[in-house]
Amino acid sequence: DAAAALAMCLEEYGYEVHSVRQVAPTDVSAMMKHEDLPWLTLVTCRGYNEATDSYRWRVLVRAVLVEIR
């Protein structure tokens, strides 16, 4: 129901960063790992190349859920 959905949106989730890695754009396996605990993976880009209009690297920040308030 709408009240339950609103309550869920108001919760705060706390994560602890466990790793920051720079990988090739084609390295999809680095971000698609199965974990037993709830993890969050943030993917961003680094090293823009104007000549190819692409990025040379992906930066992966992996964090595990440690609390819900």
The per-residue pLDDT for range 1-58, each reduced to its tens digit, is: 566 655 667 788 899 999 999 999 999 888 787 788 899 999 999 999 999 999 999 9
Are 33 and 46 spatial neighbours (Cβ–Cβ below 8 Å)?
no
Minimal CA–CA distance to 60: which of 20, 10, 6? 20
Q: Could you tell me the CA-to-CA distances from 51 to 23, 36, 48 in Å, in that order?
A: 20, 42, 9
Phi first, then psi: what are they for 28, rounded to 5°? -70, -30
Per-residue pLDDT reduced to its tens digit, 59-69: 999 999 999 98
User: Is the model's pTM score more than 0.75?
Assistant: no
pLDDT of residue 1: 58
pLDDT of residue 32: 80
Quote the CA–CA distance of 36 and 15 in Å, as a whole number. 15
